[in-house]
Amino acid sequence: MPEKPTYEELEERVRELERAASEYKRAEEAAEYKRLEHEMILDSQLEHVIYEDTDMRILWPNKSACESVNMTREELIGRHCYEIWPQGSEPCEDCPVIKAMETRKSEFVEKTTPDGRSWFIRGYPVFDAKGEIIGAIEITQDITGRKRAEEEQKKLQTQLANAVEMAHLGYWECDVLNDLFIFNDYFYKIFHTTADEVGGYIMTTDEYAKRFLHPDDLHIVREEMKKAIETTDPNYSRQTEHRIIYSDGTVGHITVRFVIEKDADGRTIRTYGVNQDITERKRAEERLRESEEKLLRSKKMESLGLLAGGVAHDLNNVLAGIVSYPELLLLDLPEDSKLRKPIQNIQESGDRAVAIVQDLLTMARGVASTKETLNLNDIVKEYLASPEFETLKYFHPTTTFKTELDMDLMNTLGSPVHIRKAIMNLVSNASEAIEGSGNVTISTGNRYLDRAVGIYEEVKIGEYVVLSVFDDGAGISPDHLERIFEPFFTKKVMGKSGTGLGLAVVWNIVQDHKGYIDVSSDEKSTTFDLYFPITRDEVRKEDLSLSMEDYKGHGEKVLVVDDIKSQREITCNMLDVLGYKSIAVSGGEKAVEYLREHSVDIILLDMIMDPGINGRETYQRIKEIHPNQKAVIVSGFVETDEVREVQRLGAGQYVRKPLTLKKIGIAIKEELEKS
């Protein structure tokens, strides 16, 4: 039999058991403390943490998981984890918890639930002491806010990128210490190129300047860079403009905005900025400026034209006695009279004065010029055979005058007097431009216009005849080129070279003929091209054999309607000489009153009468009394539309004052012979 333990031994065993029980209790307490500590840590997490067994039943959820489904921990334990999420009663196909237990490593997935929320789900396998899978931990994070923020950021980035591109902004930064420029893609878009085409996103300041900057504006960039480096202002910023060179070699404009960065010692170490392409804006501003200048010039020309027209109208009335009376006096003087030569001189002086008035009238808005079918070659030859051209050659003996006339030149509809005046003014102007010896060439040709010429933004497409006057003189400076058609603008010597109306007259002649004018000039030559619309009508040859007997009347009654007494007297005297019976009234109202009781064969009708009704209204009232009344329009100045309206009503030719026997005789004769 075994020996019984002694009391001391029993007592020792009891103490050992007490120690073991005490250690076990402490171990249990420590384990519980650890468990509670872990639970507290997990409960403090915002993520949803769930411990699941291999059947995906919940063994323990943290506080956040419970709150997310509004259930207690006790209610969740024992449930399948997928039952508490919106997807339903089955695990999702790519469930990271199942994958983690299969692959024995952590797995994750992003999911969007039917309620529109986004989740980031991670699965971690749990092993026992033998390495066997006994469950998994599922950590779920609500990333809906983050996803929306990311989407909003992408949207903002896209909007910013679009705004940058639409605004033509090109970002750049300059490393001052290492002398390097760094650019983004939009920077290169401004220059119509790419980083690949120019060799990358980084280049030195010299490379940048050579490739992109306009050489004449290089000093602007260098000066701005110098100021940025030397400034002591930490908040220094600038905005400048300068020209650039596009990849195709054309010139553009940019605005540059930049700020600086300094180091601890106050040195400028970096500059940041954006370039904005403002080429289209600059072009629009230039177009606006040009339009405003054109409008200003147009208003100036209109004002001067109206002034010139009014002065010319009054001068024509004054000149009527100087031009018309000598013609009447010469008819009664014997050939050997001592008065014949002085009277002829008076008549010639009057004719020269009339020519100056014609220039003023040509500038006036609405001048009515009688147009006929003509050929520019004939007008050029007529001018070259004139006394005016002989005088011009006399004053310019070292100038050679040449012609290059197209023998197949088409005809145009125009005023021979005005076009001859335009040729004379251009040739005179070309001669004045030559210092020493030189050449002036007059040429003609046919041309088809299908695009704008000169300063005209639009032209009427079609066939034109072109009159060109070329000289190899010093040319016209760009500043003067914009003003050469202004009345009284001249660089010539006053009193020697004319009145300053020459090119203004040419301009108005071309406008009156619905044509175009183009001027090209450099330091060695100048060419004026005048375009006139063609006509396919034939030129009517003038009968030079006419004598006064051919256009004299036979006692027909002519009513003279004019508000100027001297004009009525001169006109009636001329009509008496031509064999007509004349009656005169001082205005439109009196003409209408006279014709209510009487009849006449033809009316000589002035267009501008003050006070009272004008020629158009006078003729309208007369037509109500005598529907077939014949009339000839007589005036020194008249609005083109007014003349055309009277002619549309039935009036005949327009005869410009001052009158001559031949002009008025032929006009009346032709009108009376009409059926």
Under the banding of pLDDT at 50, 70 and 90, the label for residue 33 is low
Question: 389 and 530 share a domain?
Answer: yes
Find the domain containing 297 and state its range.
293-347
- DSSP string across 202-227: EEEHHHHHHHHB-GGGHHHHHHHHHH
In the predicted model, is pLDDT for residue 489 greater than 80?
no
Q: What is the pLDDT of residues 596-608, one digit of tens each?
A: 999 999 999 988 8
3-state secondary structure 511-547: HHCCCEEEEEECCCCEEEEEEEEEECCCCCCCCCCCC
Residue with tokens 């100056």: 356
Under the banding of pLDDT at 50, 70 and 90, the label for residue 674 is confident
Is 150 inside any structural domain? no
Which of residues 232, 251, 277 is at a domain's end? 277
Under the banding of pLDDT at 50, 70 and 90, the label for residue 497 is very low
Question: 51 and 22 share a domain?
Answer: no
Put simply, whether the predicted model's pTM sits higher than 0.95 gets the answer no
In the predicted model, is pLDDT for residue 166 greater than 70?
no
Which of residues 277, 307, 324 is at a domain's end? 277
> Highest mean pLDDT range out of 200-214, 518-532, 636-650?
518-532
Question: 379 and 523 share a domain?
Answer: yes
Is 157 inside any structural domain? no
Contact 227, 219 (CB under 8 A): no
In the predicted model, is pLDDT for residue 297 greater than 80?
no
Question: 583 and 633 share a domain?
Answer: yes
CATH number at residue 622: 3.40.50.2300
458, two tokens: 């639009």
Coil, helix or strand for 463? Answer: strand
Q: pLDDT: is 239 or 38 the higher one?
A: 239
In the predicted model, is pLDDT for residue 473 greater than 90?
no
Q: What is the mean pLDDT of the chain?
A: 80
CATH number at residue 214: 3.30.450.20
Is 333 inside any structural domain? yes
Is 18 inside any structural domain? yes
Which of residues 535, 559, 586 is at a domain's end? 535
Question: 19 and 95 share a domain?
Answer: no
CATH number at residue 440: 3.30.565.10
Q: What is the pLDDT of residues 609-634, one digit of tens each?
A: 878 898 899 999 999 999 999 999 98
If one counts the domains in the chain, the total is 6
Under the banding of pLDDT at 50, 70 and 90, the label for residue 94 is confident
Question: 648 and 602 share a domain?
Answer: yes
Is 315 inside any structural domain? yes
The Cα 513–Cα 54 span in angstroms is 102
The pLDDT value recorded for residue 37 is 61
Is 139 inside any structural domain? yes
In the predicted model, is pLDDT for residue 367 greater than 50?
no
Question: 560 and 661 share a domain?
Answer: yes
Question: 205 and 121 share a domain?
Answer: no
Is 88 inside any structural domain? yes
Is 161 inside any structural domain? no
Question: 135 and 21 share a domain?
Answer: no
323 burial type by CB count under 10 A (0-12 exposed, 13-18 middle, 19+ buried) = buried
Residues 6 or more apart in contact with residue 627 via CB below 8 angstroms: none
In the predicted model, is pLDDT for residue 487 greater than 60?
no
Contact 100, 124 (CB under 8 A): yes
Question: 329 and 409 share a domain?
Answer: no
Question: 523 and 483 share a domain?
Answer: yes
Question: 388 and 501 share a domain?
Answer: yes
